[in-house]
Amino acid sequence: MNVTDFLDGGISTDEALQAAAIYAKMGIDAIEISGGTTWALGVLGDFDRTPMRTVKDEGYYRDIARRLKATVRVPIILTGGIRSYRTAEKFVHDNVADHIGLCRPLIREPGLINRWKSGDTRGSGCISDNGCVLAALVQGMDLHCVKLAPKYSRKNNMTVCSATIPATGIYLKRTRCF
């Protein structure tokens, strides 16, 4: 559920909380919160946002999640700017959210959850600079992390790219990725 769209005259947090109360009353199983729109990103020029540098920067909508948990009695899934296992665990432990949703970290590192489950709980290499969004929406490329420094080759008139995720040794290979 979008809790803010960052547009003049768009949905406000209070309106989102009212909508969530209606959804909860109707029997919804859970509410996943996030925010923004691709249109607002283009209008606001936020494709190249300031990258996340510290754990303190994580969890864009944590305060709204707290308010929502106080408003409704359904599980809350917090998505948006969560990059580390430690932060995800803290948000659940501190009752900010019941569950955590991830997007860009899984674009950066599709095997992130398995890495965490194996005991390696280092944070994702994703810095939330919106490079993946820019590449996909503006340049028409497949969704990918542009920070992985792909290598290009041509085989049978198809573009093949490969990349190694730094510090993990995970090797990715996709066709037609650019």
In terms of pLDDT, which residue wins out, 161 or 49? 49
Q: Which pLDDT value is given to residue 115?
A: 94
DSSP run (H or E) holding 163: strand 158-164
Q: Which pLDDT value is given to residue 78?
A: 93
User: pLDDT tens digits for 2-34?
Assistant: 888 777 888 888 999 999 999 999 999 999 998
User: pLDDT tens digits for 128-150?
Assistant: 777 777 777 667 777 778 887 55
Instruction: DSSP letter for 135, please.
Output: I
Of all residues in the chain, the percent with pLDDT exceeding 90 is: 40
Query: Whole-angstrom Cα distance, residue 150 to residue 123?
Result: 21
pTM value is 0.73
End-to-end CA distance of the chain: 31
